[in-house]
Amino acid sequence: MEAAVDDLMIPEENIRFGVNNKWFTRKEMLEANKEYWFTGEKALIRILSDKPLEKGAHKVYLKMVHKIPYTGYFGNYLHITSDYTRTLTLN
């Protein structure tokens, strides 16, 4: 997982992935193979920072590699990469 805010890359250790009221680092997600949620349920991404964002528009970039669990025949999983850039406004 990669993230950037206003073109500033976020260190991996400052990114959290939230699902089922639990938060995971990227490394923890690699071991969370018993954590299930349905595709209709939304996950959350949390960026940890000592410096809060100022009000106004911010460019947010996120890239994730999705491992599709039901394709793991013989240990070979399908991986799909997605990346998005959106402008979000903080009021």
For residue 32, pLDDT over 90 is answered with no
- List Cβ neighbours of 66 (8 Å cut-off, separation of 6 or more): 79, 80, 81, 82
Q: What is the pTM of this model?
A: 0.78
pLDDT of residue 34: 76
Inter-residue contact 33 to 40 (CB < 8 Å):
no
Query: Domains of the chain: which residue ranges?
Result: 2-90
pLDDT in tens, 47-83: 999 989 999 999 999 998 887 777 877 878 888 999 9
Beta partners for residue 17, in sequence order = 24, 45
8/74: higher pLDDT: 8
Buried b (16+ CB within 10 A) or exposed e, 55-82: eeeeebbbebeeeeeeeeeeeeeeeeee
On average, the pLDDT of the chain sits at: 89
